[in-house]
Every structure is written in structure tokens, then in C-alpha cells.
Amino acid sequence: MKVAVLQFPGTNCEYDTVYAFKKLGAITQVIWHKEESLPEDIDLVVVAGGFSYGDYLRSGAIAKFSPIMKAVKEYANNGGKVLGICNGFQVLTEARLLPGALKRNESLHFISRHHNLKVVANDNIFLEKLSVDDVINVPIAHHDGNYFIDAEGLEELYTNNQVLLKYTDATGKISNPNGSVDSIAGICNKEKNVFGLMPHPERAMEILLGSDDGVKMLEGFLSA
């Protein structure tokens, strides 16, 4: 499997992402934001976490205009698989590849810690290695992780099984760290080829670092 990891000015998780996918046996390539095309033979594009363009204006709002994003949109619209992690999720919502928006945490503070997530839907390649209602432990690190979508959009997400993950405690009971609507931590598009989440599975690859629950999350892409 070949994975392209996007890099913008301010991105800080691209090499964590490269490490995670290499650990799973994938071939990886970092793609600078000024590139105008993606490699023809890739199987997955990852928009990595960080602070693209310093999060000026709005998180992900400037990155969506980078030259590489035109190629990412075309790739996604043709059925290519795209994963946005943290700032990458913000970029994908700004680019309208995913519905909704990410705004400032309800507490107005940056949050950085491990947090539990419950799997809501696994009828997709991203979470197919996990079961519905599984509770996993994955780091979060964000200032603008408060997912928002209006009531009509939320209903559509549930109708199409697009809500993938929710923030919970270790028992699966809702525990919302940032104010996200319905405690949503991750979603996908209707076609289930574009995925976005605020937590960092690429930082949960080894027990030594607190959790290896990210392994099963990312392994799904390798079974395509």
C-alpha cells in the first residue's frame, strides 16, 4: 500500500503519520503543499495534523487554497481514499470534502491528553477492524476541535451512517471534552471514502506511548 502524507507550513504530525503507516508496512511519501498533483499509484492521502499556516484566519481556512488541495479534491471525487487527522479534519471541512465545521473548544483552552472514543459505525474501511460500541483510547491535542453542524445536517449524518466516533469515558458513557455536537469525534462523507477525526490514531501505535489502539484504526486502510 502507498500512502501520501500532505505537508503544509505549520504541519507537525506528518512524520508521526509516516512512522505509523511504515510500522504497518505501507510505503509512504510526504507531499509538499505547493505540488500540483498527487502520485498516480497512491492508495490513500492523509492530511496530517498540526497548525497549517499557523491557524491564521481560521483553522484549515488558508490550507484549502494550497495547490495540492485541487488534486486532493479531484482524487476524492474520483473515489480515492482521504483521511484527515486533527488539523487535517479542519482542512477537509473547510474544503467542503466533509460536512460541518470545527470551532474553538467550548472551554477556550487547548486540550492535550488521551481520551476514550466509542465506535459508532464500522461499515467503512477506516474502522472495519473494530466493532460497534468498542471503546478505544487515543490522544487528542487541539484548540479548535469543537465539531459543529446544524440540526438538518446532523440528521443526515446519522441517516447515512456518517458519524463514526464519539468522545466517551472508559465505560462508553458520553464524556465531551470540547463541546462537539453530540460528542462527535469523527465522521466520513456519504460515499465513505473521505474520513476526518480530531483524535490522533498515529500517536496510538505502541503501548509504550500509552496506547496501541490506533493500529486497528489505520489497519483498515491496508485491507483495501
Alpha carbon dihedral 74, 77, 83, 84, in 10-degree steps, equals 70
Which residue out of 115, 142, 143, 200 is catalytically annotated? Answer: 200
Q: Is the distance from CB of 46 to CB of 88 less than 8 angstroms?
A: yes
Which residue out of 86, 94, 115, 142 is catalytically annotated? Answer: 86
Catalytic, 86? Answer yes
User: Is 217 strand, coil or helix?
Assistant: helix
Catalytic, 219? Answer no
H or E stretch covering 3: strand 2-7
Query: Which class for 200: exposed (0-12), middle (13-18), buried (19 or more C-beta within 10 A)?
Result: buried
| Phi (first) and psi of residue 180, to 5 degrees | -55, 140
| Cα(86)–Cα(49) distance, integer angstroms | 5
Listed residue (170, 189, 205) closest to 125, CA to CA: 189
Enzyme catalytic residues: 86, 200, 202
